[in-house]
Structure 1
Amino acid sequence: MARPDQNQVLRQLPIVVGVLAGSLLMINRLLTPAPSGFQARSDALGIIVSALLILTGLLWQQVQPRPPEAVELIGEEGFELALDLPDPVKTELAWASHLLLTNTVTRSLVVYYQGRVLLRRGILAPNSEVKPGDILKRVLEKQKPVYLVNLKIYPGRVEFDYLPENTQGVICQPIGSEGALILAANAPRSYTQQDETWIAGIADKLADTLSRSPLVSSEA
């Protein structure tokens, strides 16, 4: 369900007031057969003020654009962890995923490391298998994040069939040189630069933890 725009009424208020005031002035002028000079000047001033209100409202529509509309992702909510991971690694993954799901627009996430899925959490797609496509391969090779701000406009979106089908935005954040943190948002263009910096920091922390885990390292 889309989150309502809390500023919508404020943005439209000047336009509504301007149109209403201008309409009342026109009606009053039509109902007055022989207006006095004072009334004519007052009507002209009122029309100017009404026009300024309408112009202000239109400018607010540009200066304060509506935020991107969120959707309810399709899938079942769940939390899946690889069973053979050491307890400290499980705790670290649970902590990191909880922070991302509660403090960002992320609604679904996958931790892919050394060729397998270590964690899926949030709204889960039926497909749990990650087959790296061109985008994820580029992230793994170059170790640089990719932010797809509006997933539906990218032809490469088909590779993310392990995310909810109506995912709006995706961040692929490298976890060291061997994995990636894949985040799905429920609204396009919704991650801020501060979010991206914070996500990178969490991914670096996961990379350090996973690289120190004997079981995970032995899977390479």
Structure 2
Amino acid sequence: MAWATYVLLQNTNTTSVLIAVGDVLCIRGYWDPPADIPKHAMIEWFKGQMEQTALVNLSSALYLPSFSGTQLGNILPQGILSVLAQPILSNPDPANGETKAEGVILLASNANYAYSEKDRVWIGAVANKFRSV
């Protein structure tokens, strides 16, 4: 996860990245959580925000190229203009072909239209690295 957050920050127009797989989080970049939350409670705060926004249950990528601070605004830092939530989906079930969300990669940028189609395909490939076998 640390490698993935690093390459996403270095190779895309990203200022904030969060990877959540199951109960494990890796958070890197610029974040602005509320000042009244103690450092030891930050992970639980992030998990709570992820559940409130239903980002952990996405079935397809959510790209907001011109973000204006909707319900996702509680988790994101000030000044974010583009958001990409890429789900980490399980491999299809051989019995019925269903996939389920195992986690999510959340990327935020302070630029409008920060993620090109090529970026989104590459980010999807990074997400696929986290699929359970």
TM-score (norm 1): 0.46
Q: Which has the higher contact order (CA 8 A, sep 6+)?
A: 2
Kindly provide the amino acid, as one letter, of the partner of residue 178 in structure 1.
E
**1:161 counterpart = 2:74:** yes
Q: Residue in 1 aligned with 2:3?
A: 95
**1:108 counterpart = 2:21:** no
Residues 110, 117 of structure 1: 8 Å contact kept: no
Residues 174, 203 of structure 1: 8 Å contact kept: yes
1:197 to 101, 111, 121: 121
Q: Residue in 1 aligned with 2:86?
A: 173
Per-residue CA distance 1:166-220 (angstroms, 9 max, x = gap): 211100000122210000011011210000000000000122xxx36xxxxxxxx
Structure showing the higher strand proportion among its residues: 2
Structure showing the higher helix proportion among its residues: 1
Alpha carbon RMSD of aligned pairs, Å? 2.0
SS in 1 for 2:15: strand
Separation of aligned partners in 2, 1:134 and 1:126: 15
Unaligned runs of 5+ in 1: 1-92, 213-220
Per-residue CA distance 1:90-147 (angstroms, 9 max, x = gap): xxx1111111101100110111222x4511100022254232345626xx24x20000
Per-residue CA distance 1:62-109 (angstroms, 9 max, x = gap): xxxxxxxxxxxxxxxxxxxxxxxxxxxxxxx11111111011001101
Separation of aligned partners in 1, 2:119 and 2:81: 16
SS in 2 for 1:184: strand
State the structure with more CA Rg: 1
SS in 2 for 1:150: coil
Unaligned runs of 5+ in 2: 35-41, 90-100
Regions of 4+ moved over 4 Å: none
Kindly provide the amino acid, as one letter, of the partner of residue 11 in structure 2.
N
Residues 173, 180 of structure 1: 8 Å contact kept: yes
1:151 to 67, 80, 100: 67
